[in-house]
Amino acid sequence: MGFIKPSNVVGTMELLPNEQILFDNVKNIIEDTFKKRGFLPIDTPVFEKNEILLAKGGGETTKQIFKIDSESKDISLRFDLTVPLARYVAQYFSDLNFPFRRYHIGKVYRGERNQKGRYKEFYQCDIDVIGNGKLDIKNDAELPYIIYEIFSKIINEKFAINFSNLKIINGLFENLGVDNKTDMLRIIDKIEKIGFEKVVEELKNTGLNDNNLEKITEFIKISGSNEEIIEKLNSLGIKNALFDKGVEELKEVYNCMKLFGIPEDCIKINLTITRGLDYYTGTVYETFLENYRQLGSVCSGGRYDDLASNYTSQILPGVGISIGLTRLFYQLLDKNLFKEIKTNSIDALIIPMENCYDYAIKLLNKFENSGKIIQIYFEDAKMKKKISYADKLNIPYIIIVGEDEKANNTYTVKDLKTGEQSTVDFEGLIKLI
């Protein structure tokens, strides 16, 4: 009987231990930053009732969800963390304190096409602030600061948080009397992929009259510093309440982002961001690596008017941002863009000589409350193989315990990076490693 060839499912990510340690450390940095900012954890099941997942209707969602084959249960795997959040907030509304600040880090599942860097199973790291009836616009400025803090810790590359406000462009369309604004927004949203000229060409093909085409083209061409963009918006002469509200909110979010401490060169007002057309209603965000824009947005989100309208009559406005961690990790690893983050989980390897295992185990027990992660190598092998074992696991130190060390109550410690070796007592050992 032949062996079955071992292989994981296409569209899933499995890592060797050293890379998994890096992944976990990045995930921990994200979670620790969420916690530090006062966000509370939740965890929901990886599957939901189909009536919950598909409450907004079918379409592309129906094609992408993984249904669980069961005659008695009509359930599927979650495709994001937002729908479970909406259900959660509606279900536990009376038990929650508002504004409700939650974070959720977990796996989601989508029937993505098989292609490099895209996954059917992947981690998302979400934060949202949910209001009861209303939510102050200043919350829209805090979330980008949290993203700035996270990316500053993990990425060795310049990045910028691009943002806009959908009220501005929707107000422009209202002012111009444009009916098919959804089509217009979808075309403008492609500007990063196809460029300005092709966007203008596609806008022409929608049947816009010359005046409206000129006004929309003038709008999407607006560029300059953040201050200049705001000035140009004010000088367009658009008389529309929604437009004015959007510009007002844009200015307030921008000013608050600076107050939070985001450097000016990490903030970019980008009026062509039109993501989440059927969901977001105000502020929208996209984060780009400045020298790798071809990777697309590495973090995105925005403001929505009513999170859970399919599940409750309560009005629950909110703002959220999501990091697709699995895809981001793959991209940063592929381009070698990580800052130096610890990739070893073991601080030192104890190597006992013959008849010294009792002394080695006593040493291991001494480390119990030290905060150090220590392992003993028990296998019978040559010293070269033992050192090679430590090297391959990125263990920085080996601690050799033999008859001499046992007799003198000392330990010989070697730094595998520098090759330096010294014999010390336990206090000296703790200081060294």
And the tokens for 217? 């083209």
Mean pLDDT calculated for residue range 176-192? 85
What is the per-residue pLDDT across 1-45, written as a single tens digit (0 to 9) for each? 689 999 999 999 999 998 999 999 999 999 999 999 999 999 999
Q: How many CA atoms lie within 13 A of 322 on its CB side?
A: 19
Q: Are 347 and 372 in contact (CB under 8 A)?
A: yes
Q: Just give the CATH number of 17-335.
A: 3.30.930.10
* 3-state secondary structure (DSSP) of residue 342: coil
Give φ, ψ of 408 to 5 degrees: -105, 5
Strand partners, 268: 162
What is the per-residue pLDDT across 319-360, written as a single tens digit (0 to 9) for each? 999 999 999 999 999 999 998 887 778 999 999 999 899 999
Cite the annotated binding site for L-histidine by residue number.
Answer: 80-82, 110, 124, 128, 275, 279-280
Burial class (CB in 10 A: 0-12, 13-18, 19+), 112: middle
Domain residue ranges of the chain, discontinuous segments joined by +: 17-335, 348-432
Residue 255 carries which side chain, given as an amino acid letter? Answer: N
Angle at 251 between CA 248 and CA 255, to 5 degrees: 140
Whole-angstrom distance between the N-terminal and C-terminal Cα of the chain? 50
Q: What's the pTM?
A: 0.90
Cite the annotated binding site by residue number.
Answer: 80-82, 110, 124, 128, 275, 279-280
And the tokens for 43? 């965890």
89: which residues sit within 8 A by CB, 6+ positions away? Answer: 96, 100, 130, 307, 308, 316
Angle in degrees, 0-180, between the axes of helices 181-188 and 210-220, rounded to the nearest 10: 40
What is the per-residue pLDDT across 205-231, written as a single tens digit (0 to 9) for each? 888 888 888 899 999 999 999 999 999
Taking the C-alpha atoms of residue 136 and residue 44, their distance in angstroms, rounded to an integer, is: 27
Taking the C-alpha atoms of residue 391 and residue 385, their distance in angstroms, rounded to an integer, is: 10
Assign domain 348-432 to its CATH architecture: 3-Layer(aba) Sandwich (3.40)
Angle at 56 between CA 61 and CA 274, to 5 degrees: 75
